Structure 1
Amino acid sequence: MPGHYMMLDDFLLRTLEGQRDEAGAYRLRTVLGEIALAVRAIAAMIERVMLDGSMGAGGDAGLNLEAAARELMVALCERSACVAGYAAAGAGAMRATAAVAGASGVSGVSERGGYLLAFEALDGAAQIAENGVAGSVFSVREAACESTEELTQDAAWLRGGAAQWAAAYALYGPSTLLVLTLGRGTYGFTLDRSSGTFVLTHRAMCVPDEGPELAIDGAREHAWEPPVLRYVRECRAGSAGEREREFSLRFGGCAVADVHRILTRGGVGIVPREPREALGASGLALMHAAQPLALLVEQAGGAASTGRARVLELLPGALDERTGIVLGSKSEVARLERYHREYERGVDRPFNSPLFNERSLFRPEACA
């Protein structure tokens, strides 16, 4: 390995110097190092499954892989001296680690200075059977608790996304990437399989101001809100429409892969809220995925919004709450926010005549 390459450990050491006290920096560095170990283990597990088919086939393989990745992450959290509690997407509950749960009083949390780790262990697991791309998402928050009992109470967890000390995602593809932010820029590290180390390969990632990418699940068009429908139709019209340029519509079935493509190429990714479903039942898991991805994109110069509010300013009402999200280039996110405002003011709503309905002469398209 050439000596001028920077390893993840060296990057964390330099970046955290002066940002936190020595003990706090050590604990955060330890947690992030353990996340890197988990990513390496999940990558190895995926490769092994592709060789021996031990997880089954098709959809069963995806479900089994997702469960195995979650168990791996839980085991890591339970062993860690610096993780006080964890919450896995799909598990439905937050848990204090065994070391903290077995402690008493304040010493179990405050003196240990532990962190809370929320994660989605394997996003896009169903695609692995097709040799597709999958990912993991991690959110690190400080355990601001006065007693061990508080770790399993909502107040310890349900805080805004700005309370994150770090966020990361892993992308499992031709190479394994770990993309990380400590609140001062977004950086990418590639796994060197020969040495088992992560090497800094993407310095100060920056979302381009404009990009050709639009990532959205077109099969759900029937459930989109009108502002999203308006935006997507404009993009589909390409250079012949209002946008006067071409867009590439993609959907990878893995939010991490879509976000990574937008980080490198620009554009926007949309996971819409679906009003026909119960509130909070559609979109991305707010704490486990939406807020860590939002922090990564914002630190790379992009934006992340629900169309109505900044994602990092949302206060979760429940651990498993979900949210619609729009993230990517600032100009594209701002356009979608404007479309939501205009829709809610009724500016872009067509006139519906109760008498003539579709044949009304007062509909905007009839007046054109």
Structure 2
Amino acid sequence: MSVTLQAYLRDFAGDDAQKQAVAAAVARIAQAGVAIADLVAQGPLADHFAKVRGADPNAGGDTQKELDVIAEEAIIAELKQAPVAFLGSEESETPIPLNAAGTLVVAVDPLDGSSNIDTNVSVGTIYSILPYEAARFPDPADALMQKGAAQLAAGFLVYGPSTVLVSTLGAGTQVFALDRASGDFLLAVAAVEIPAETKEYGVNQSNMRHWDTPMRAYIDDCLAGKDGPRGKDFNMRWVGSMVADAFRIFTRGGVYLYTGDKRKGYAAGRLRLIYEANPVAFVTEQAKGAATDGTTRILDIQPEKLHQRIPLVFGSRDEVAKIASYY
């Protein structure tokens, strides 16, 4: 008999109040994901979803699409029914108050990969769940800026040919798939394990001329194949939607690289630490992979601002360590 997400969360939570709060938040995010998946599935029938909203970028500094805002609204509506005090979002400059009595804060990228909305490429939602105490964090932004190691749960949804939830509650990484017939997420993989070694990397190679020396040297050695210093041939895969690239890695291994480069505004990379790198790093480590900014473990980095950008390398553990050796 298939295990539903609801049953899995209920078994996880037991009689523990904090775990019950986390379970409620994850369940609500998953429910929002069902609604967002339905909207994404409309594709060209709802082409206005891909239209740029306004002239100004969002709080994260990126162009904001109509569906970015709709996705955020769906998540807010669901999390108002969970014990979440504040929501930090890529689409909003400051934390969004939800429930005054909440014991958690949640950070989200409501629609990762939204530049691909009109191309029928997989997009998704990324989330991070952290503990919250009003006395400890009079400023809710400080609660959202805890180190990634403080996360209680994290994960991401992918809206593609199937809708999947990659989740960790701090005890391994699981994959749930949406069963359209019942409307339930069903457990598909009970314990994801990213292979330690790989012959596959994901990077936007069109930016090679802008890379710093260590990054260029690593890719050059991969391209040299079995006759080069790595002694093996590599495949390169790049979707340009991080959740899609991440799910590939969680399925068959590999590494993802989005480091800083010499372009204006790219020195610290383009991905956000709090609501992209931290949650992906948590689910990666729980699947026996690794995640760094090139040298430093992502979950050990102290955030300095809500929309802070950071270089990100994650995936197969041995390959991430190899990349670090170039730096």
Residue equivalent to 1:25: 19
Residue equivalent to 2:4: 7
CA positional deviation for 1:75: 2.6
Paired residues of 2:198 and 2:319 also in contact (CA < 8 A): no
Q: Mark the structure with the bigger radius of gyration.
A: 1
Residue equivalent to 2:46: 53
Unaligned runs of 5+ in 2: 54-62
- C-alpha change, 1:335 and 1:82, in structure 2 (3 Å) is same
1:151-175 deviations in Å (ceiling 9; x for gaps): 43x4222210011000010011110
1:87 aligns with 2:88: yes
Residue equivalent to 2:58: none
Percent identity over the alignment is 33
Residue equivalent to 1:146: 135
SS of the equivalent of 2:65 reads helix
SS of the equivalent of 2:70 reads helix
CA positional deviation for 1:280: 6.8
Residue equivalent to 2:57: none
Report the AA paired with residue 287 of structure 1.
I
- C-alpha change, 1:231 and 1:166, in structure 2 (3 Å) is same
Residue equivalent to 2:313: 326
CA positional deviation for 1:81: 3.8
Report the AA paired with residue 89 of structure 1.
E
For 1:300 and 1:174, the matched residues in 2 are separated by: 23
SS of the equivalent of 2:152 reads strand
1:132 aligns with 2:114: no
For 1:218 and 1:279, the matched residues in 2 are separated by: 15
Residue equivalent to 2:255: 268
CA positional deviation for 1:309: 0.6
For 1:254 and 1:59, the matched residues in 2 are separated by: 18
Residue range with higher mean Cα deviation, 268-277 or 50-59: 50-59
CA positional deviation for 1:292: 0.3
Residue range with higher mean Cα deviation, 312-321 or 220-229: 220-229
Paired residues of 2:268 and 2:311 also in contact (CA < 8 A): no
SS of the equivalent of 2:239 reads coil
Residue equivalent to 2:59: none
Unaligned runs of 5+ in 1: 101-107, 341-368
Residue equivalent to 2:270: 283
Residue equivalent to 2:159: 172
Please show how residues 180-259 of structure 1 align to structure 2 within 5 Å: 180-259=167-246
- C-alpha change, 1:280 and 1:71, in structure 2 (3 Å) is farther
SS of the equivalent of 1:222 reads helix
CA positional deviation for 1:116: 0.4
1:101-129 deviations in Å (ceiling 9; x for gaps): xxxxxxx4xxx5x2101000111122231
For 1:320 and 1:134, the matched residues in 2 are separated by: 20
Paired residues of 1:186 and 1:300 also in contact (CA < 8 A): yes
- C-alpha change, 1:319 and 1:246, in structure 2 (3 Å) is same
Residue equivalent to 1:350: none
> How many residues end up aligned between the 2 structures?
318
TM-score under structure 2 length normalisation = 0.91
For 1:211 and 1:58, the matched residues in 2 are separated by: 38
Report the AA paired with residue 96 of structure 2.
R
Paired residues of 1:96 and 1:151 also in contact (CA < 8 A): no
